[in-house]
């Protein structure tokens, strides 16, 4: 590797490294404003000017030596920007010369010509690069008269979430570049030029991006501030607590900044393997549910028909007595537990332990509401992507197939990371879905199949690979059985036939298959839309498995399967057997328990509901005993006999397992609300009162038991999960904040990650043999009717319990709408924005039509988490009329 | 906002570049020629045609001085404010024009006839002072008398 000498320190760095990065390696700080390690260099601010020289060569081409026998350096006559200069072997850099110091002084002086110097009232003060670098490198005073300062607008709302101060902006364009390069929402730009230049957004709504909050973090001055946090605390007065996002399944690492027992703000915590330094706006702003005034604060027990506050003892005793009575009358099979996949692993583990070991019932489920289509329990256990697969750093040796997913709405930060992989590292991305999603714009191959024919598309690719002899013969020979039977079964499914079934051109199927088979690494990310189809079409499961196995793409980093689930702990719910078919550790159960549908239709006499709201979706029959444990008085809780107040993620410790199977630790940040208790404590109290000898003092002890009893979690301890947890500043009261790096997250830690992934069978057992299965794809007669097929999607900002409590994001929640193709819209006689009546089965809803080219003809799409759109059946036939 | 023929012309322009978005500047000129300036609707039309966001098109349209994002008068004068013209009395002449029109540089006269704007070098230093009228007509070796004549003609 090339050697570079920076201020007499020599380091070896890879070809292509920028001087500014090489300097970090040498332990030399080069100050920057516009440069950001996650963004392309532009060299705009000039703060990083340094002296650069290369070895002097004689006429013979040989490097000349100086008097001391060292290579003589030919210094460039002018200073160079360290953020755009790429190193070369033998290069010398001086950052400590008078010339460089003078340049830095001048740059700072110029940047401050019109800066208001209002640090005492600026949110950024205390973690502001401009403040820090001015103190370190600035001239101390300005030669420009105060009267010559430009005065610009100081409070310019840039959308609902962000406030722009035009005086503080130094035009570094980090925010614009973040939006263009990573968020891929081109909604910020410069306007005008010279001293009149300013940041504007002309989108409708303004600053229309799900990632806008990140521009606050990367703004090196106080120009962009959060309208939620604005002026509510000084950053050095808040306590930082490491946490993990409570919303989607990405599991973004967070810092909760607390003061006076209130969450003042949430910022990203750096974890290269999960979210790098980014989070979405939902994760950042939608935390107000934790302290919402309508949180449950005491247990409630139904007396004389209404729910009345009660003591914990009374509430728990009432539950236990009724559990025992029903068990005695109807047996353990009359007891059922429905646990939401929003609770921590410790809660889920004890919940299933209560039912399986204490009560003796296998009636456990988590699949209600949005999680109803959670499948792939065995697929993920067998073929889950190799550990340390980093979706933000997949290079051109990797092909990723994203099928039936819409990460922009459901796992936003995964969309962001895949975008970075495509743009910066050359990932080969194939996006396949029944409609065009945002991610598809980055895809090398974008495929739109007919909803319901996912398996035909997959079979077409398998057939191509087998026909063209592209399968991994070595891997199959050593580890895969039953290929011959599959070859025979697939005989009628020629590529042309599959193409016809799924309405994709045969060549597109072949191209995708070749790319996958010839790629050194291959990942499948499959999402909720594919999973919803999978419930009716087992051929999707067997095809995914076959595609991975015949190409040998399992058991290694950057290979295998990632199931994109809806909630922050969907994976945990499956890991701990909140399923009638599997027990903790994803072990198949001998006895099949009741399904969620059976539980809700009255087959269980006693139902214990933890952190989910099945009654909100309708079709709910109240059992003899209904216990609900939640943060709020949900629709289900209103019907309950006993309601127990649980704690939110901000009030307690726990672990969550993200959609990439990474177990991560979150810590309590604020005091409990009222008498609320952690879910695990409540479950343990019930177990104790039923006679169990459980003695858990805290959630860490539960994790120790999990690690000892559930092999997937072996070695997972709170201590191990605390390794590499990045805190940007010393704990409050310890050390002087100005002595330490104080920026939120700079993206300096390319190779550092925290959390622990459990290994799939394919990875942990190098000699495991695999069996191929064949399932007939679901044949479906699709006759041309005057009806359209309904695709059910999800909107990031929804009408759910959690988002609903944060006022600032409410304008981002869309009015309920239906997307229609322009051809269909013309036939119905409606245009963009028209009101339409959508009818299916026995339901009729009225929605706004969106005609924007995202759905193919014959398909309509409705997000099912907006006002009045709950519980829509994916794939149903619908009729649409003009209102 | 833009006529169908202008849209067709922009689509043709797009084929002349390896990356079709490079047609942004000629497309904006075309829009401005048709409408006289670049209102929001024109920016939106160009953005839609080129597959860019409105914000991106606005950045280009506001960076270059010869695009008008505000409705100009019937005629636009670019008056050179650079050194060679200043040495030949341009500063006094500009003041004279401002007085005559009753508006400052960057503004439009009250009757809506003439928009006066300062320009950087117009490339006619050997005939300083110079000004550019409506983007096509160069006037050079200016004197107060000559300017009065021109203003009379433009106001007529």
Residue of chain B whose Cα is closest to the Cα of A206 = B55
* Neighbour order of strands in the sheet with A253-259: A239-244, A253-259, A262-268
Residues B89, B135, single domain; the answer is yes
Q: Could you tell me if residue B25 is inside a domain?
A: yes
Q: Is a pLDDT exceeding 80 seen at residue A740?
A: no
Please name the helix (run of DSSP H) or strand (run of DSSP E) that holds residue A791, with its range, or none: strand A788-793
Residues B59, B80, single domain; the answer is no
Residues A393, A534, single domain; the answer is yes
Write out chain B residues lying below 8 Å of A202, CB-based: 40, 43, 53-55, 58
Q: Give the separation between CA A226 and CA A601, rounded to whole angstroms.
A: 46
Give CA separation, A635 vs A248, A613, A628, B2, B33, in Å.
22, 7, 10, 53, 61
Residues A634, A660, single domain; the answer is yes
Q: Give the separation between CA A526 and CA A271, rounded to whole angstroms.
A: 23
Q: Give the separation between CA A729 and CA A743, rounded to whole angstroms.
A: 8
Whether B61 has its CB under 8 Å from any CB of chain A: the answer is no
Convert the pLDDT of each residue in A536-567 to its tens digit: 899 999 999 999 999 999 999 999 999 999 99
Q: Could you tell me if residue A768 is inside a domain?
A: no
- Classified as helix, coil or strand, A404 is coil
Residues B58, B120, single domain; the answer is no
DSSP secondary structure of A631-658? SS--HHHHH-SEEEEBP-TTSS-EEEE-
Whether B119 has its CB under 8 Å from any CB of chain A: the answer is no
Q: Give the separation between CA A733 and CA A738, rounded to whole angstroms.
A: 12
Q: How many domains does chain A have?
A: 5
DSSP secondary structure of A245-258? -SSSTT--EEEEEE
Residues B98, B138, single domain; the answer is yes
Q: Could you tell me if residue A210 is inside a domain?
A: yes
Give CA separation, A627 vs A67, A323, A787, B81, in Å.
86, 10, 42, 80
Residues B101, B45, single domain; the answer is no
Query: Who contacts A402 (Cβ-Cβ below 8 Å, separation ≥6)?
Result: A418, A429, A430, A431, A432, A433, A439, A443, A525, A526, A527
Residue of chain B whose Cα is closest to the Cα of A185 = B53
Residue of chain A whose Cα is closest to the Cα of B53 = A186
Last residue of one domain, picked from the residues A563, A593, A610: A563
Contact of B150 with B133, CB cutoff 8 Å = yes
Q: Give the separation between CA A62 and CA A54, rounded to whole angstroms.
A: 13
Convert the pLDDT of each residue in A458-500 to its tens digit: 999 999 999 999 999 999 999 999 999 999 999 999 999 999 9
Residues A161, A249, single domain; the answer is yes
Residues A150, A265, single domain; the answer is yes
Residue of chain A whose Cα is closest to the Cα of B59 = A191
Residues B55, B92, single domain; the answer is no
- The enclosing domain of A202 has a CATH number of 3.30.70.20
- Distance from the Cα of B80 to chain A's closest Cα (Å) equals 18
Tell me if the bond preceding B129 is cis, omega within 30° of 0.
yes
Cβ–Cβ gap B62/A191 under 8 Å: yes
Mutation target for B interface from A185, A187, A202: give the one with most B CBs within 10 A.
Answer: A202
Residues B40, B105, single domain; the answer is no
Percent of chain A with pLDDT over 90: 83
Contact of A525 with A758, CB cutoff 8 Å = no
Contact of A280 with A211, CB cutoff 8 Å = yes
Residues A510, A417, single domain; the answer is yes
Whether A200 has its CB under 8 Å from any CB of chain B: the answer is yes
Q: Residues A13-36: what's their mean pLDDT?
A: 95
DSSP secondary structure of A520-570? SEEEEEE-HHHHHHHTT-HHHHHHHHHHHHHTT--SSTT-EEEE--SSTTH
Q: Which residues of A527-546 are buried (b: 16+ CB within 10 A; e: fewer)?
A: bbbbbbbbeebbbbbbbbbb
Residue of chain B whose Cα is closest to the Cα of A202 = B55
- The enclosing domain of A857 has a CATH number of 2.40.40.20
Residues counted in chain B: 156
Q: Token pair of A283, please?
A: 């994760």
Q: Is a pLDDT exceeding 60 seen at residue A739?
A: no
Q: Could you tell me if residue B79 is inside a domain?
A: yes
Q: Which domain holds residue A876?
A: 787-882
How is residue A452 annotated by DSSP? T
**Torsion angle of the four alpha carbons A219, A220, A223, A229, in this order, in degrees rounded to the nearest 10:** 70
- The enclosing domain of A630 has a CATH number of 3.40.50.740
Residues A460, A527, single domain; the answer is yes
Interface confidence (ipTM) of the complex: 0.90
Cβ–Cβ gap A203/B62 under 8 Å: no
Q: Is a pLDDT exceeding 70 seen at residue A860?
A: yes
Q: Which of A186, A192, A193 sits opposite B55 (nearest CB)?
A: A186
pLDDT-based confidence at A741, cuts 50/70/90? very low
Q: Token pair of A318, please?
A: 């009432």
Residues A395, A368, single domain; the answer is no
Q: Could you tell me if residue A416 is inside a domain?
A: yes
Write out chain A residues lying below 8 Å of B56, CB-based: 186, 189
Write out chain B residues lying below 8 Å of A203, CB-based: 53-55
pLDDT, position A750: 66
Average per-residue pLDDT for chain A: 93
Q: Could you tell me if residue B118 is inside a domain?
A: yes
Q: Residue A69 burial by CB count (10 A; 0-12/13-18/19+): exposed, middle or buried? A: exposed
Cβ–Cβ gap B59/A189 under 8 Å: yes
Q: Is a pLDDT exceeding 60 seen at residue A781?
A: no
- The enclosing domain of B26 has a CATH number of 1.10.10.1590
Write out chain A residues lying below 8 Å of B52, CB-based: 186
Q: Could you tell me if residue B151 is inside a domain?
A: yes
Whether B106 has its CB under 8 Å from any CB of chain A: the answer is no
Q: Is a pLDDT exceeding 70 seen at residue B30?
A: yes
Query: φ, ψ for residue A879 (rounded to 5)?
Result: -115, 140
Q: Which of B53, B54, B59 sits opposite A190 (nearest CB)?
A: B59
Residues B55, B80, single domain; the answer is no
Residues A536, A585, single domain; the answer is no
Q: Is a pLDDT exceeding 60 seen at residue A782?
A: no
Cβ–Cβ gap A192/B56 under 8 Å: no
- Distance from the Cα of A199 to chain B's closest Cα (Å) equals 9
- Distance from the Cα of B152 to chain A's closest Cα (Å) equals 32
Mutation target for A interface from B44, B55, B65, B119: give the one with most A CBs within 10 A.
Answer: B55
Q: Could you tell me if residue A772 is inside a domain?
A: no
Residues A97, A14, single domain; the answer is yes
- Distance from the Cα of A399 to chain B's closest Cα (Å) equals 26
DSSP secondary structure of A724-752? T---SSPPTTSS-GGGS---S--S--TT-
pLDDT, position A779: 62
Q: Which of B43, B55, B59 sits opposite A203 (nearest CB)?
A: B55
Last residue of one domain, picked from the residues A260, A291, A322: A291
Give CA separation, A40 vs A412, B57, B100, in Å.
21, 21, 50
- Distance from the Cα of A438 to chain B's closest Cα (Å) equals 14
Percent of chain A with pLDDT over 70: 96
Which segment of A82-91, A345-354, A440-449, A845-854 scores lowest on mean pLDDT? A845-854
Give CA separation, A761 vs A430, A536, B64, in Å.
26, 26, 61
- The enclosing domain of A555 has a CATH number of 3.40.228.10
Q: Could you tell me if residue A349 is inside a domain?
A: yes
Convert the pLDDT of each residue in A666-697 to its tens digit: 999 999 999 999 999 999 999 999 999 999 99
Write out chain B residues lying below 8 Å of A188, CB-based: 55
pLDDT, position A236: 86
Last residue of one domain, picked from the residues B63, B95, B112: B63
Residues B120, B144, single domain; the answer is yes
Residues B52, B98, single domain; the answer is no
Tell me if the bond preceding A650 is cis, omega within 30° of 0.
no
Contact of A559 with A385, CB cutoff 8 Å = yes
Residues A267, A309, single domain; the answer is no
Residues B106, B148, single domain; the answer is yes
Write out chain A residues lying below 8 Å of B58, CB-based: 189, 191, 200, 202
- Distance from the Cα of A279 to chain B's closest Cα (Å) equals 23
Q: Could you tell me if residue A679 is inside a domain?
A: yes
User: 3-state SS string over A96-137?
Assistant: CCHHHHHHHHHHHHHHCCCCCCCHHHCCCCCCCHHHHHHHHH
**Torsion angle of the four alpha carbons A160, A163, A169, A174, in this order, in degrees rounded to the nearest 10:** -40
Cβ–Cβ gap B59/A187 under 8 Å: no
Q: Could you tell me if residue A348 is inside a domain?
A: yes
Convert the pLDDT of each residue in A343-396 to its tens digit: 999 999 999 999 999 999 999 999 998 888 899 999 999 999 999 999 999 999
Convert the pLDDT of each residue in A144-184 to its tens digit: 988 988 899 999 999 999 999 999 999 999 999 999 999 99
Give CA separation, A272 vs A190, A429, A563, A751, A755, in Å.
30, 21, 20, 7, 11
- The enclosing domain of A60 has a CATH number of 3.10.20.740
pLDDT, position A753: 85
Q: Token pair of A20, please?
A: 């500014």
Whether A67 has its CB under 8 Å from any CB of chain B: the answer is no
Q: Which domain holds residue B83?
A: 75-155
Please name the helix (run of DSSP H) or strand (run of DSSP E) that holds residue A52, with its range, or none: strand A49-55
Mutation target for B interface from A178, A183, A191: give the one with most B CBs within 10 A.
Answer: A191
Q: Is a pLDDT exceeding 60 seen at residue A784?
A: no
Q: Which residues of A858-883 are buried (b: 16+ CB within 10 A; e: fewer)?
A: bbbbbbbbbeebbebebbeebebeee
Q: In whole angstroms, what separates CA A799 from the centre of its chain? A: 19
Q: Could you tell me if residue A746 is inside a domain?
A: no
Q: How many domains does chain B have?
A: 2
Convert the pLDDT of each residue in A99-143 to its tens digit: 999 999 999 999 999 899 999 999 999 899 999 999 999 998 889
pLDDT-based confidence at B135, cuts 50/70/90? confident
Q: Residues A761-768: what's their mean pLDDT?
A: 94
- Distance from the Cα of A126 to chain B's closest Cα (Å) equals 32
pLDDT, position A737: 47
- The enclosing domain of B93 has a CATH number of 3.40.30.10
Place of tokens 């303004």: A206
Query: φ, ψ for residue B52 (rounded to 5)?
Result: -115, 170
Residue of chain B whose Cα is closest to the Cα of A197 = B63
Predicted TM-score (pTM) of the model is 0.94
Residues A50, A180, single domain; the answer is no
The residues that bridge with A93 in the sheet, in sequence order, are A6, A52
B102 conformational bin, left if phi > 0, alpha if psi -120 to 50, beta if neither: left
Residues A703, A799, single domain; the answer is no
Residues B20, B81, single domain; the answer is no
Whether A191 has its CB under 8 Å from any CB of chain B: the answer is yes
Q: Could you tell me if residue B69 is inside a domain?
A: no
Whether A203 has its CB under 8 Å from any CB of chain B: the answer is yes
Strand ranges, E, within chain B = 75-80, 114-119, 131-133, 137-139
- Distance from the Cα of A194 to chain B's closest Cα (Å) equals 9
């Amino acid at each position: 590797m090339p050697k570079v000498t920076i201020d007499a320190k020599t380091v070896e760095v890879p070809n292509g490294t920028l001087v500014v990065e090489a300097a970090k390696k040498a332990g030399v700080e080069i100050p920057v404003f516009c440069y950001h390690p996650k963004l392309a260099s532009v060299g705009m601010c000039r703060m990083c000017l340094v002296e650069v020289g290369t070895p002097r060569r004689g006429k013979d081409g040989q490097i000349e030596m100086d008097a001391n026998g060292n290579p003589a350096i030919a210094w460039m006559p002018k200073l160079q920007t360290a953020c755009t200069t790429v190193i070369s072997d033998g290069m010398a850099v001086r950052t400590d010369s008078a010339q460089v110091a003078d340049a830095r002084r001048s740059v700072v002086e110029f940047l401050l010509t019109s800066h208001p110097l209002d640090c005492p009232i600026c949110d950024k003060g205390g973690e502001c690069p401009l403040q820090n670098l001015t103190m370190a490198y600035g001239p101390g005073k300005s030669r420009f008269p105060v009267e010559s300062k430009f005065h610009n607008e100081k409070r310019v709302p840039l959308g609902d979430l962000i406030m722009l101060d035009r005086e503080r902006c130094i035009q570094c364009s980090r925010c614009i570049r973040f939006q263009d390069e990573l968020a891929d929402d081109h909604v910020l730009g410069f306007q005008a030029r010279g001293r009149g230049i300013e940041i504007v957004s002309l989108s409708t709504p303004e600053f229309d991006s799900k990632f806008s909050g990140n521009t606050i973090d990367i703004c090196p001055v106080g120009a962009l501030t959060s309208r939620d946090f604005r002026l509510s605390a000084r950053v050095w007065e808040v306590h930082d607590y490491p946490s993990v996002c409570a919303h989607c399944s990405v599991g973004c690492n967070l810092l909760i900044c607390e003061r006076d027992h209130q969450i003042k703000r949430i910022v990203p915590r750096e974890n290269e393997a999960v979210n790098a330094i980014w989070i979405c706006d939902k994760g950042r702003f939608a935390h107000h549910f934790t302290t919402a005034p309508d949180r449950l604060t005491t247990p409630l027990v139904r007396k004389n028909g209404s729910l009345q506050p009660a003591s914990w003892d009374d509430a728990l005793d009432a539950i236990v007595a009724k559990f025992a009575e029903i068990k005695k009358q109807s047996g353990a099979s009359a007891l059922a537990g429905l646990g939401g996949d929003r609770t921590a692993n410790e809660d889920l583990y004890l919940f299933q332990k209560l039912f399986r070991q204490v009560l003796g019932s296998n009636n456990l489920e988590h699949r209600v509401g949005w999680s109803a289509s959670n499948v792939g329990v065995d697929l993920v256990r067998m073929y889950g992507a190799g550990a340390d697969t980093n979706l933000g750093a997949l290079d051109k040796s990797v092909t990723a197939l994203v099928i039936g997913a819409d990460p922009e709405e459901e796992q936003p930060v995964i969309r962001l990371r895949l975008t970075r992989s495509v743009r910066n590292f050359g990932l080969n991305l194939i996006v396949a879905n029944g409609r065009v999603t945002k991610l598809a714009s980055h895809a090398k191959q974008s495929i739109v199949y007919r909803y319901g024919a996912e398996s035909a598309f997959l079979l077409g690719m398998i057939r191509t690979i087998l026909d063209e002899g592209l399968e991994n013969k070595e891997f199959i020979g050593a580890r895969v059985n039953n290929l011959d039977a599959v070859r025979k079964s697939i005989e009628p499914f020629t590529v042309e036939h599959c193409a016809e079934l799924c309405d994709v051109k045969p060549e597109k199927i072949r191209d995708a298959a070749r790319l996958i088979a010839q790629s050194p690494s291959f990942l499948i990310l499959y999402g909720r839309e594919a999973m919803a189809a999978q419930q009716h079409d087992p051929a999707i499961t067997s095809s995914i498995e076959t595609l991975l196995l015949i190409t040998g793409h399992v058991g290694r980093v950057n290979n295998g399967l990632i199931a994109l689930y809806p909630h922050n702990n969907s994976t945990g719910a499956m890991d701990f057997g909140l399923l009638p078919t599997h027990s903790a550790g994803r072990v198949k159960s001998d006895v099949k328990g009741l399904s969620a549908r059976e539980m809700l239709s009255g087959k269980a006499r006693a139902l214990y509901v933890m952190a989910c709201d099945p009654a909100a979706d309708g079709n709910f029959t109240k059992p003899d005993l209904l216990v609900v444990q939640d943060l709020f008085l949900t629709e289900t809780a209103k019907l309950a006999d006993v309601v127990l107040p649980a704690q939110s993620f901000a009030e307690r410790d726990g672990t969550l397992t993200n959609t990439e199977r990474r177990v991560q630790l979150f810590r309590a940040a604020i005091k409990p609300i009222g008498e609320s208790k952690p879910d695990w404590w409540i479950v343990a109290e019930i177990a104790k009162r039923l006679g169990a000898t459980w003695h858990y003092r805290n959630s860490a002890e539960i994790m120790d038991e999990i690690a000892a009893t559930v092999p997937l979690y072996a070695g997972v301890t709170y201590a191990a999960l605390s390794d590499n947890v990045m805190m940007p500043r010393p704990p409050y009261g310890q050390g002087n904040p100005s002595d330490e790096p104080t920026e939120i997250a700079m993206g300096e830690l390319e190779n550092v990650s925290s959390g622990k992934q459990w290994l799939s069978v394919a990875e942990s057992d190098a000699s495991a043999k695999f069996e191929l299965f064949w399932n007939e794809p679901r044949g479906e007669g699709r006759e041309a009717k005057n009806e359209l097929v309904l695709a059910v999607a999800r909107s990031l900002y929804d009408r759910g319990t959690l988002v609903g409590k944060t006022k600032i994001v409410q304008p981002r929640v869309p009015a309920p709408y239906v997307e229609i193709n322009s051809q269909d819209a013309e036939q119905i006689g409606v245009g963009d924005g028209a009101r339409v009546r959508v009818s299916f089965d026995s339901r009729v809803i009225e929605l706004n039509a969106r005609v924007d080219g995202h759905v193919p003809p014959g398909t309509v799409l409705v997000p099912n988490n907006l006002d009045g759109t709950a519980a829509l059946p994916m794939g149903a036939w619908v009729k649409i009329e003009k209102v | 906002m833009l006529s169908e023929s202008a849209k067709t012309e922009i689509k043709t322009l797009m084929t002349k570049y390896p990356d079709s978005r490079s047609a942004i500047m000629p497309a904006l000129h075309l829009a401005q020629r048709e409408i006289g300036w670049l209102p929001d609707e024109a920016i939106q039309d160009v953005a839609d045609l080129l597959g860019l966001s409105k914000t991106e098109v606005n950045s280009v349209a506001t960076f270059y001085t010869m695009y008008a994002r505000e409705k100009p008068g019937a005629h636009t004068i670019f008056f050179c404010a650079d050194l060679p013209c200043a040495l030949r009395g341009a500063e006094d002449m500009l003041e004279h024009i401002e007085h005559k029109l009753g508006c400052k540089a960057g503004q439009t006269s009250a009757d809506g006839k003439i928009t006066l704007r300062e320009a950087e070098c117009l490339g006619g230093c050997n005939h300083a002072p110079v000004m550019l009228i409506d983007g096509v007509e160069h006037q050079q070796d200016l004197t107060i008398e000559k300017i009065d004549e021109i203003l009379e003609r433009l106001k007529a």
